[in-house]
Amino acid sequence: MADVVRDFPTDPPTRVLHGINLTVERGELVAVVGPSGSGKSTLLALLGTLDRPSSGTLAVAGHQVDLLSEAELAVLRACHIGFIFQQFFLMPGLSAVENVATGLLYSGVEPAERRRRATRVLGMVGLGHRLHHKSNQLSGGEQQRVAIARAVVGEPQLLLADEPTGALDTQSGQEVVELLRRLNAQGTTVVVITHDAQLAESFPRRIGIRDGRIAFDRRGTQL
């Protein structure tokens, strides 16, 4: 992104991001840190094409976002971007495999193939034995792994995670982080918003956001 500004339509307008210049290369593992209200989630929404810049240019997976229609953005998200949130957003009436298969609903994949891919990815995240369990039958860590499986079932180039360990106990959080590292090692670009300073310092790149501006951009694992 180049000179990206995001204003919210209040009266007067509220500037949330101020002229952000940022490039995330394919295959990177990046932590984004900053206090509440600093603009981290807005930045993630822009990277995920869930929002558009008020000004400036933004390209994701080689596509210039400001030139795309809403329908074209939906295709871009379905084919290239996966999302993980602190809240799991699983459908309570569906099994784990059915929840993961919903990640392929807009990809044109036939139902039987969606289920086959969902089964394979749940095996990858260590839940091959929990395929038919519903959300209320899974622990918090297991639910987050289902959410991660749903995010990656379409093999996205870019995986965006907003506080993915925030609702988990320490052990479950560590398991989720290790899973994200494995996905990155397999070639997925991973960007994680976190308030966990220790976690951020263990990432090869850390970007600090404060008052809607990049406060620092550091490379090299510190721990």
Flag whether pLDDT at 218 surpasses 60. yes
Query: Is 20 within the bounds of a domain?
Result: yes
Task: Give how far the C-alpha of residue 151 lies from the chain's centroid of Cα atoms, to the nearest Å.
Answer: 8
| Average predicted confidence (pLDDT) for the chain | 91
Query: Is 32 within the bounds of a domain?
Result: yes
CATH of the domain at 61: 3.40.50.300
Query: Is 8 within the bounds of a domain?
Result: yes
Query: Is 73 within the bounds of a domain?
Result: yes
% of the chain beyond a pLDDT of 70: 99
Dihedral sign of CA atoms 185, 149, 120, 107 in order = negative
What confidence score (pLDDT) does residue 221 get? 61
**Between residues 170 and 29, which one has the greater pLDDT?**
29
| Residue 124 binned pLDDT confidence (cut-offs 50, 70, 90) | confident
Query: Is 131 within the bounds of a domain?
Result: no
Q: Give the integer Cα–Cα distance in Å for 61 and 91.
A: 29
Query: Is 118 within the bounds of a domain?
Result: no
| Residue 165 binned pLDDT confidence (cut-offs 50, 70, 90) | confident
Flag whether pLDDT at 90 surpasses 70. yes
Total-model pTM: 0.88
Q: Give the integer Cα–Cα distance in Å for 109 and 120.
A: 15
What confidence score (pLDDT) does residue 223 get? 46
Give the domain extent around 39.
2-90+156-219
Work out the average pLDDT over 123-151. Answer: 92
Dihedral sign of CA atoms 194, 200, 204, 206 in order = positive
Query: Is 37 within the bounds of a domain?
Result: yes
| Residue 222 binned pLDDT confidence (cut-offs 50, 70, 90) | low
Counting the structural domains of the chain, the total is: 1
Region of residue 208 (left: phi > 0; alpha: psi -120 to 50; beta: else) = beta
Residue 114: partners with Cβ closer than 8 Å, 6 or more residues away: 101, 104, 105
Query: Is 177 within the bounds of a domain?
Result: yes
